[in-house]
Amino acid sequence: MEIRTLTDIYDVTCSIERPTVLKSKKGDRWVDVSTSEFRDTVRNFSNGLRVLGVKPGDRIAILSENRPEWAMADFAILCAAAVTVPIYPTLLGWQMVHILNDSGAVAVICSTAEQLQKIREIQKNTPYLHHVIVCDAPASLPPGVRKFEQIVEEGKKNDDGRFDALRKRPKPDELATLVYTSGTTGNPKGAMLTHGNIASNAMASLKVLPIEQGLIAMSILPLSHILERMADYCYFIRGCTIAYAESVNKVGENLQEVKPHLFA
């Protein structure tokens, strides 16, 4: 199929049945996400965001290290015709305030209790931020914070059948993501990238990159960086398996365990 938007990439990914689309290390073993799990999680999480009140065009922030939930949340946001706002997990709380306020993010998806705590400390200074979601929830969940799994379950229970229509709604010239600069010369500035900007770049890259179905790719650079995100979209299009490195310090160990064909 012709790929003109990032939601087209989701469609292509779902059309390539395989036991492992994504994999990440939990404890001492690597855990796989199959095509069906990927498809259902994206659909249900996207529906769950709409249950929260997320509307087309809303900005949703992702504050997370590289992991399967990053990619699935990204596609869920895009399939709700909303806009993804990546935030580097290395940033301190006060450094995120400008990004959250400038983008107008109405929700943020945090990876861990550590990232959640950063948001909790600045939330009073982010008037647009109404919803906080966490993947690895702390033992005691703070009031108003929801688990990633809860959003998935709510979306599954409240599937109103609008997912497919919303998934097809984005056009190539519509905003897909706001990618913020490092802010070394002032406040970070959000680069406005459309579906067409990224999709066309990925397709052009695949004309020269030796990426084929069945290969294993390791995701190392932060997904908050557009280069890594672009690489991952290329992997999705070709039907590769994406393995997420645990951290920069564990890359060598992870490479030996996974034995990927390529990495970025």
Q: Residue 186's pLDDT is what?
A: 80
Domain count, the chain: 1
Tell me whether residue 1 is in a domain.
no
Tell me whether residue 166 is in a domain.
yes
Tell me whether residue 91 is in a domain.
yes
pLDDT at 34 over 80: yes
pLDDT, tens digit, 9 for 90 and up, residues 106-135: 999 999 999 999 999 999 999 999 999 999
pLDDT, tens digit, 9 for 90 and up, residues 175-230: 999 999 887 778 899 999 999 999 999 999 999 999 999 999 999 999 999 999 99
Domain span at residue 175 reads 6-263
Q: Residue 44's pLDDT is what?
A: 99
pLDDT, tens digit, 9 for 90 and up, residues 84-112: 999 999 999 999 999 999 999 999 999 99
Q: Residue 184's pLDDT is what?
A: 73
Distance CA 111, CA 228 (A): 18
Distance CA 185, CA 242 (A): 35
Tell me whether residue 74 is in a domain.
yes
Tell me whether residue 130 is in a domain.
yes
Tell me whether residue 33 is in a domain.
yes
CATH number at residue 184: 3.40.50.12780
Name 192's bridge partners: 178
